């Protein structure tokens, strides 16, 4: 983690929660969902405001849960 990033979190009293360096497999399911949200729902962009980012994230999660077909569910939502 960058020092700038961790300092911002500290100033805002936000606890950092991460796996150890280079251990993405420790949380593979969350990493997979995050990747899908970024790639399929374009959440990897820079938003004009926090409110815009929150709306986009809420919409993406709703689409992921309610509309997107899932192989593990025999292509059901």
Are the C-beta atoms of 76 and 69 separated by less than 8 Å? yes
Residue 41: CA count within 13 A, CB half-sphere: 21
The pLDDT profile of the chain, 77 residues, written as one tens digit per residue, is 688 988 999 999 998 876 666 666 777 888 888 898 899 888 999 999 999 999 999 999 988 888 887 777 777 66
**Distance, CA of 26 to CA of 52 (rounded, Å):** 31
Task: Tell me if residue 77 falls in helix, strand or coil.
Answer: coil
Name residues whose C-beta falls within 8 Å of residue 9's C-beta, 6 or more positions apart in sequence: 15, 16
**Every domain of the chain and the residues it spans:** 24-77
CB atoms within 10 A of CB 6: 12
Q: What is the pTM of this model?
A: 0.59
């Amino acid at each position: 983690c960058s020092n700038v990033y961790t300092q911002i979190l500290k100033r805002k009293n936000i606890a950092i929660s991460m796996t150890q360096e280079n251990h993405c497999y420790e949380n593979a399911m969350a990493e997979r969902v995050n990747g899908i949200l970024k790639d399929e729902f374009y959440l990897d962009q820079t938003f004009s405001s926090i409110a815009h980012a929150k709306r986009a994230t809420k919409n993406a999660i709703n689409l992921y849960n309610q509309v997107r077909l899932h192989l593990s569910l025999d292509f059901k939502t």
